[in-house]
Amino acid sequence: MRTKLALICGVAALAGAGSPAAANDVRDAVTQDMPELMDLYRDLHANPELSFQEVETAAKLAKRARDLGFEVTEGVGKTGVVAVMRNGEGPVVMLRADMDGLPLVEKTGLPFASKRTAVPASGVETGVMHACGHDTHMTAWIGTAQVLAESKDQWQGTLVMILQPAEEIGEGALAMLEDGLYERFPKPDYVLGFHDAAQFPAGMIGYSPGYALANVDSVDITVPGIGGHGAYPHTTKDPVVLASAIVMKLQTLVSRESSPLDPAVVTVGSFRAGYKHNIISDEAKLQLTVRSYSDESRQLLLDGIKRIVKGEAIAAGMPDEKMPTVTVQVPYTPSTYNTPEFTEEVMAGLKSRFGDDRVMQVPSVMGGEDFGQFYRADPENVESLIFWVGGVPADDFAKAQAGEMELPSLHSPFWAPDAEKVIATASEAMIAATLDIMAPQTGG
């Protein structure tokens, strides 16, 4: 509660001051750092590492944080980094960037495109690319750390800056928490992060109060059958027909069981069975992605999947020992919740800094992010916000608006954001938001 009041006072103080000078100070400091930050960005972009393999990346950035005066601990949650700067009484603010690249061969044609290869968990060597823009996140993290380290007279409290591994496989945030992030280091009152966005123009800030990203569950269904000759179906139990019935019936979960006002997705992304035209297979396998926001709707969907699978198998006359199995992968990626009041307070500050045309409320998405874990670890006491920073180069955005170009999405081998805009905007926004929250308390 105390910190909440401190925040409101901090925002009020800043808004009251109107402080254009302070606004320009932050922007000027970032602008000055940009040439060097872009060198770092190009280096990170050319040298991506896969989830939980972010060894060089972590070492490089840990050294820089140490040079800035942070107490730095490496190897938190395998390859994670925690950098702490204590600066008197006040709130604990945690700023997070994620570090991992994706198993993709880069096709941007940029002069600093990645030529790296690596071996992911699948065991098959692949190209590696920062196709989700985590390189912009890390560069802005350093940009933020530099300015905050240089302006300790303007904030009070404890700054905890973390570099999280393995966001792409949804495990890194949990790995850091399970390795004692909230016990071994100061536990945050406020958690902030951003993600670059491939649907917004470069330099735009988008935010969604409340649920911003979805629960993501991966579900595997194995449907046994009794195989045989395709010409004698009556002597078999055909798993293709049964699995097809399951796929169709699953469509009713969203259309008939979950509330029309509560977003939900059940997608069967993979359906595999059979060998040949005239053989009835003895097995079918389905792979689903299941998306929701609340714990309740997640449970409704997962329970519904199990019930439908069992019900359809019974209806098909499957014997008890050949019932299909449903496996829900653990850990899952929980939804990301932006605590509404905190979100509005931070965004009010950013709107006055960047203007209403650059800071906009945008619809939530059904994509996933494990950033939500930091809030879920202590929802009573943690205020949390992740926002979007648009990355689409202005020319491309105009062409797309005119229908002359299809924009690449995140995770595309062609995703080449206007990194300079993303990094400058995100650094300024992060610094400004942190200074708001950690504003020194004068008087009562």
Q: Active-site residue numbers?
A: 100, 167
Q: How far is the CB of 131 from Zn ion (least distance, A)?
A: 7
Q: Which is nearer to Zn ion, 172 or 203 (CB)?
A: 172
Q: Which two tokens stand for residue 220?
A: 């595997």
From 69-77, 131-139, 216-224, 395-403, span contacting Zn ion (CB under 5 A): 131-139
Q: From the CB of residue 279, how many other CB atoms can be counted at a distance below 10 Å?
A: 13
From 15-23, 108-116, 132-140, 301-309, span contacting Zn ion (CB under 5 A): 132-140
Q: Which is nearer to Zn ion, 132 or 318 (CB)?
A: 132
* Whole-Å CA distances, 142 to 36, 119, 138, 211: 11, 28, 6, 28
CA dihedral (180, 183, 188, 194) in degrees, to 10, reads: 0
Contact call for residue 132 and Zn ion (CB under 5 A): yes
Name the phi and psi angles at 2, rounded to 5: -60, -45
From 60-68, 124-132, 382-390, 427-435, span contacting Zn ion (CB under 5 A): 124-132
Give dist(CA 163, CA 443) in Å, integer: 35
Show contacts with Zn ion in window 141-160 (CB under 5 A). Answer: none
CB 348 within 8 A of CB 15: yes
Q: Which is nearer to Zn ion, 167 or 312 (CB)?
A: 167
Query: Which helix (DSSP H) or strand (DSSP E) does residue 181 occupy?
Result: helix 181-184
Q: Which two tokens stand for residue 148?
A: 């905050």
Q: How far is the CB of 102 from Zn ion (least distance, A)?
A: 7
How many residues line the site for Zn ion (CB under 5 A)? 1
Q: How far is the CB of 411 from Zn ion (least distance, A)?
A: 6
Question: Where does 2-117 have alpha helices with state H?
Answer: 2-17, 20-46, 55-67
For Zn ion, the nearest residue by Cβ is 132
Q: Which two tokens stand for residue 438?
A: 């950690």
Contacts of 287 (CB under 8 A, 6+ apart): 218, 219, 220, 221, 268, 269, 270
Q: Which is nearer to Zn ion, 287 or 412 (CB)?
A: 412
- Residue in the structure block whose two tokens are 């939500």: 372
Q: Which is nearer to Zn ion, 196 or 436 (CB)?
A: 196
CB 44 within 8 A of CB 138: yes
Contact call for residue 129 and Zn ion (CB under 5 A): no
From 126-134, 270-278, 287-295, 435-443, span contacting Zn ion (CB under 5 A): 126-134
Q: How far is the CB of 291 from Zn ion (least distance, A)?
A: 15
Tell me the three state secondary structure of residue 28.
helix
Q: How far is the CB of 134 from Zn ion (least distance, A)?
A: 6
From 125-133, 149-157, 202-210, 217-225, span contacting Zn ion (CB under 5 A): 125-133
Q: Which is nearer to Zn ion, 198 or 346 (CB)?
A: 198
* Whole-Å CA distances, 309 to 11, 247, 258, 265, 305: 52, 9, 17, 17, 6
Q: How far is the CB of 121 from Zn ion (least distance, A)?
A: 16
From 49-57, 128-136, 252-260, 420-428, span contacting Zn ion (CB under 5 A): 128-136
* Whole-Å CA distances, 258 to 193, 242, 253, 303: 31, 24, 6, 12
Q: How far is the CB of 429 from Zn ion (least distance, A)?
A: 17
Show contacts with Zn ion in window 103-122 (CB under 5 A). Answer: none
Site string for Zn ion, 378-417 (x = CB under 5 A): ----------------------------------------
Q: Which is nearer to Zn ion, 154 or 215 (CB)?
A: 215
Q: Which is nearer to Zn ion, 132 or 346 (CB)?
A: 132
Determine if residue 169 is left, alpha or beta; phi over 0 gives left, psi from -120 to 50 gives alpha, anything else beta: alpha
Q: How far is the CB of 133 from Zn ion (least distance, A)?
A: 7
Query: In sequence order, what are the beta bridge partners of 291?
Result: 216, 265
Q: Closest by alpha carbon to 341, among 69, 1, 21?
A: 1
Contact call for residue 138 and Zn ion (CB under 5 A): no
The site for Zn ion (CB under 5 A) is made up of 132
